[in-house]
Amino acid sequence: MQAIVRACTAEGWPARVAAVIANRPEADGLGFAQENGIATAVVPSRGKTREAFDAELATEIDRHQPDLVVLAGFMRILTPEFTERYAGRLINIHPSLLPAFPGLQTHARALEAGCKVVGATVHFVTAELDHGPYVLQAVVPVRAGDTPETLAERILPLEHIIYPRAVRWFVEDRLIVADGRVTVTPAADGTPDPQWLFGDDA
């Protein structure tokens, strides 16, 4: 979230971050948002059904009338009703090269499977967990002796590049989704943008 806020300001996107909403009052991002003049809200999830929480969350989101809803460190499974409500304007980042390893413990599972490369994927959110049209992916090689922790450490800087980039493409109206695939139209100067990022000598 912080990387997206900073990129929006530094790169002069035709957009603003309207609000940061969390389900935990101790979430670090709330303080950062307040320091940067961004509205914040907490919608507690504890003790509520998934449906009740999602309905409250949607009410709070809609108060800000966003064009795009960005999930950043939001580790909850959303109901089909919620994902349908924001279809085509709800995105997430997942720490694997989807469709491989949806869900949790992605790096450990990649190591167990003997993968030669791992990475992260920015994707539109659908009712199916960690699926939906892929916007952008980043790749790093798996080295001898890697652990889930070392892979996460090497992938995170790339996540901070590809997630803001994908959000910028959305706000610049450069993403076309058709038949479950995402195409990025060229920039105003005609320069095409690749939909992948290779890091760490991948």
Domain ranges of the chain: 1-198
- pLDDT tens-digit map of 3-57: 999 999 999 999 999 999 999 999 989 999 999 999 999 999 999 999 999 999 9
Side-chain-side CA neighbours of residue 60 (13 Å): 17
Tokens of 88: 């085509």
- H or E stretch at 52: helix 50-63
Per the annotation, does 97 bind a ligand?
no
Per the annotation, does 155 bind a ligand?
no
**pLDDT computed for residue 201 by the predictor:** 56
131 catalytic residue (yes or no): no
Q: Tell me which amino acid residue 146 is.
A: D
Mean pLDDT of the chain: 94
**pLDDT computed for residue 187 by the predictor:** 87
Q: Which of 64, 94, 107, 123 is catalytic?
A: 94
Q: What does the chain come to in residues?
A: 202
Per the annotation, does 36 bind a ligand?
no
Low-confidence ranges of the chain (pLDDT < 50): 202
Phi, psi (5° rounding) for residue 176? -115, 125
CATH hierarchy code of domain 1-198: 3.40.50.170
**Cα–Cα distance between 48 and 73 in angstroms, integer?**
20
